[in-house]
């Protein structure tokens, strides 16, 4: 099979590229290397079944050529990371909205199946329960740029489902929850690699807010299992699926566990959100998925526990 991965030199995209090349697929990657890295794909760059195009997904002529020649598209290209989004709101909206529109329009032109990588940010400020795919969303003010990413990805989902319903385009939407593992960096505000790097270097482990906010972490290999299985399941077309772990941990607990597993003497420090991101920043107090839908369809259940996930990130940075 021929596969296009947008953002294929990024954290998740590079792991997916490796997986598909090793399984015998011919893989085409487009990445502008804003957050992606050539080092992420160094192990497959010499493979005859791997092709890299360094360009933006907003280049319609290039995208037209790539989409024409493939069977499946994994659309992962997006602005990522809270800090990145806070610092570059215009680029965030451009890439996430215009880029996805380009992918879907050209995929429909050639009737190619598409996986849309969405996000748990879609749910906004929900705190009541584990998050189910059909739940309402609770967004903050449009004056708080924190929510630009969530709203842009919401529009991506609306557009993808509209293409499926009106044009019969085969699309699958996966809402990813805190995917972590080797190659993810803390450069754009990702919490686990930031904690691990700080602990290994003996620097303070910085927790934003009071640290009682909860998250659930899923190893990238589990996420890839889910994504590829959904793309190979016809019943997944036109549906939205949470992809993540249903095991919650507070950020304080995460910081303590990172400190223990690294054997670090680093202090754990708390910094107010305003100091970290500027006045008026809002965060989600809880983010844990209900994974019954994906479990019932493809039998998905995360196989990596939190300690294994943390240790994989520790080993990556030690190397």
- Active-site residue, from 149, 163, 188, 277: 149
DSSP codes joined into one string, the chain: -EEEEETTTSHHHHHHHHHHHHTT-EEEEEE--SS--GGGGTTTTT-TTEEEEES-TT-HHHHHHHHHH-SEEEE-----SHHHHHH-HHHHHIIIIIIHHHHHHHHHHHT-EEEEEEEGGGGBT--SSSB-TT---B---TTSGGGHHHHHHHHHHHHHHHHHHHH---EEEEEE--EE-TT--STT--HHHHHHHHHHHT--EEEETTS--EE--EEHHHHHHHHHHHHT-GGGTT-EEEES----EEHHHHHHHHHHHHT--PPEEEE-HHHHH-TT----S---B--HHHHHHH-------HHHHHHHHHHHHH-
Residue 149 among the catalytic residues: yes
Catalytic residues: 149
């Amino acid at each position: 099979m021929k596969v296009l991965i947008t953002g294929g030199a990024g954290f998740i995209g590079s792991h997916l590229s490796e997986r598909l090349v090793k399984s015998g697929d011919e893989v085409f990657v487009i990445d502008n290397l804003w957050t992606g890295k050539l080092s992420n794909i160094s192990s497959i760059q010499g493979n005859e079944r791997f092709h890299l195009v360094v360009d933006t997904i907003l280049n319609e002529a290039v995208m037209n050529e790539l989409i024409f020649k493939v069977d499946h598209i994994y659309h992962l290209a997006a602005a990522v990371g809270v800090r990145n989004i806070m610092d570059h709101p215009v680029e965030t909206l451009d890439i996430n909205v215009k880029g996805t529109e380009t992918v879907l329009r050209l995929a429909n032109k050639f009737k190619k199946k598409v996986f849309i990588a969405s996000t748990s940010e879609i749910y906004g400020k929900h705190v009541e329960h584990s998050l189910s795919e059909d739940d309402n969303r609770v967004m903050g003010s449009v004056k708080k740029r924190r929510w630009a990413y969530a709203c842009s990805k919401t529009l991506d989902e609306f557009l993808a489902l509209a293409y499926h319903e009106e044009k019969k385009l085969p699309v699958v939407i996966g809402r990813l929850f805190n995917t972590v593992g080797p190659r993810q960096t803390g450069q754009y505000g990702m919490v686990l690699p930031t904690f691990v790097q700080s602990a290994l270097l003996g620097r303070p482990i910085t927790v934003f807010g009071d640290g009682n906010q909860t998250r659930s972490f899923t190893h990238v290999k589990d996420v890839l299992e889910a994504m590829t299985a959904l793309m190979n399941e016809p019943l997944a077309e036109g549906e939205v699926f949470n992809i993540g772990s249903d095991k919650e941990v507070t950020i304080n607990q995460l910081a303590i566990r990172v400190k223990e597993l690294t054997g670090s003497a680093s202090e754990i420090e708390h910094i107010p959100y305003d100091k970290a991101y500027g006045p008026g920043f809002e965060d989600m107090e809880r983010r844990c998925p209900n994974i019954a839908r994906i479990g019932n369809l493809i039998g998905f259940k995360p196989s990596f526990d939190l300690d294994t996930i943390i240790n994989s990130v520790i080993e990556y940075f030690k190397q």
